[in-house]
Structure 1
Amino acid sequence: MASRIEQIIEEIQDYIDECKYSTFSSTKILVNKEEIDELLHELKSRTPDEIKRYQKIISNKEAIMDDAKQKADALIKQAQSYSDQMVNEHTIMQQAYEQASEVVNQARQQAQEIVASANAQAEQIQVSIMQYADDTLATIQNLLSHSITETQEHDAAFINSLNQILMVVNSNRAELHPEEDLAQNEAIADRAEAERTARAEVEEAQDVSETDNVEGIVGDETLNVIR
């Protein structure tokens, strides 16, 4: 909306445009003094009021600008405070994350060390058990071999002794009955030899069976120890 001063200026401009030029001139015009004085007087009287109004507007503008500046400063401070808070929270979160990661890594490393130590101990125990089982089997093997050898030697000596006694008995009987008992003595000697051979085969088979049984028992016990 235009002010009254602007309206008066436009009216003066329109009035000048409507005035007629003076005779023999293209730059001078003829004006009505009363009309132009009235317009100028009103313009003069209106000027202080307009100036006051503009001063008030300017004053209000400065107040508005000051208020806007204060609000802007407050918003800037608030934004800066919020930004600082976010930075601090981010720093705290970053530190917490780094500490948590370090704890997890330490726990993982300790777990790996514990597992490795347990595996090493298990392998060492396994080796010790295998060595103990092998030593035990070797001892039992030596005992069985020695026992079998002693038994065979004892039985052979005992059988030889019996055969010698039998031969003496047969000789004595032959002296008593030289004609009758020659063939019988030979048959008895052959039968005794056959019985001795059969007995030796049976005893050998029994020894093998007993050895297999002992080895089976020892094998089961060894497996139980290893398990």
Structure 2
Amino acid sequence: MGNSRIEQIIEEIEDYIDTCKGTLLSSGEKIIVNRERIEELLRELRMKTPEEIKRYQRVLANKDAIMEDAQQKAQAIIAQANIQNQELINEHEIMQQAYEQANQVIDTATSQAQEILDNATRDANEIRLGAIQYTDELLANLQDMMQRMVETSNLRYEAMMNNFQDFYNVIVSNRAELNPQQPQQETAQPEETQETQE
């Protein structure tokens, strides 16, 4: 903003005084002025002073209004910044909570999966051992049964062979009675036959 009219009038008075001539005996401390010119400048100064004061008051009022408006805008900006900052903090907290929850879910799922795998492995081992034990029991029973069958078959075979031998001896005895001349020859034949059968 340029100089006010009051400042201009004061500068004109100063310039006018500088151009005035001093008195002969004053050593430059006193000057001769044109009264009308000085009165004119002072009159204009008196007239402009209230107007300038009002103008300054308006400027000051506008300045206060501008400052108040600026403060309100600054406060609004600060409030908005605080809101945004709080939103960012809330979003960060939400993201942090979501991240922690995701980690918890992953940890829980991993633990459950490991537990399921361990249980499945244990069950499979138990089933495998049970199957081996069951199969071994079946084979043991089969072995016992086969052993009994073999023993029974041997006993039956031995009894049958004894019966055959007795029957054969009866036949030989009967033939010997029919033909007493060849008892030794006939008696020897069963032994050879028995050895052959064995």
Is the structural similarity TM-score above 0.5?
yes
1:39 Cα deviation from its structure 2 partner: 2.7
- Relative to the length of structure 1, the TM-score reads 0.64
CA–CA separation in structure 2 for the residues paired with 1:143 and 1:180: 47
1:109 Cα deviation from its structure 2 partner: 3.7
Q: Does structure 1 residue 163 correspond to structure 2 residue 165?
A: yes
1:8-87 equivalent positions in 2, closer than 5 A: 8-20=9-21, 23=24, 27-28=28-29, 30-34=31-35, 35-87=37-89
Cα separation, partners in 2 of 1:100 and 1:179, compared to 1, 3 Å? closer
CA–CA separation in structure 2 for the residues paired with 1:148 and 1:7: 147
CA–CA separation in structure 2 for the residues paired with 1:72 and 1:89: 25
Cα deviation digits, residues 35-90 of structure 1 (max 9, x gap)? 34433332232222111111111111112222223333334444444444554555
Cα separation, partners in 2 of 1:48 and 1:6, compared to 1, 3 Å? same
Cα separation, partners in 2 of 1:177 and 1:26, compared to 1, 3 Å? farther
The equivalent of 1:204 in structure 2 is: none
Moved over 6 A (4+): none
Tell me how many residue pairs correspond in the alignment.
195
**Is the 1:22–1:30 Cα contact (8 Å) retained in structure 2?**
yes
The equivalent of 2:138 in structure 1 is: 136
The equivalent of 2:7 in structure 1 is: 6
Cα separation, partners in 2 of 1:177 and 1:146, compared to 1, 3 Å? same
User: Could you say which structure has the greater relative contact order, defined with CA pairs below 8 angstroms and 6 or more residues apart?
Assistant: 1
Identity within the alignment, % = 43
1:135 corresponds to which letter in structure 2? Answer: E
- Relative to the length of structure 2, the TM-score reads 0.72
CA–CA separation in structure 2 for the residues paired with 1:161 and 1:56: 153
1:134-213 equivalent positions in 2, closer than 5 A: 134-170=136-172, 173=175, 176=179, 178=181, 182=185, 186=188, 189-194=191-196, 196-197=197-198
Cα deviation digits, residues 138-161 of structure 1 (max 9, x gap)? 111011011112212221232243
Q: Which moved more, 1:26-35 or 1:36-45?
A: 26-35
CA–CA separation in structure 1 for the residues paired with 2:190 and 2:166: 13
CA–CA separation in structure 2 for the residues paired with 1:83 and 1:188: 122
1:115 Cα deviation from its structure 2 partner: 3.9
2:160 corresponds to which letter in structure 1? Answer: F
Cα deviation digits, residues 165-220 of structure 1 (max 9, x gap)? 434544654672646983x87567435422x13xxxxxxxxxxxxxxxxxxxxxxx
- When the two chains are superposed, the root-mean-square deviation of aligned CA atoms in Å is 3.6
2:149 corresponds to which letter in structure 1? Answer: S
The equivalent of 2:124 in structure 1 is: 122
**Is the 2:6–2:52 Cα contact (8 Å) retained in structure 1?**
yes
CA–CA separation in structure 1 for the residues paired with 2:176 and 2:49: 185
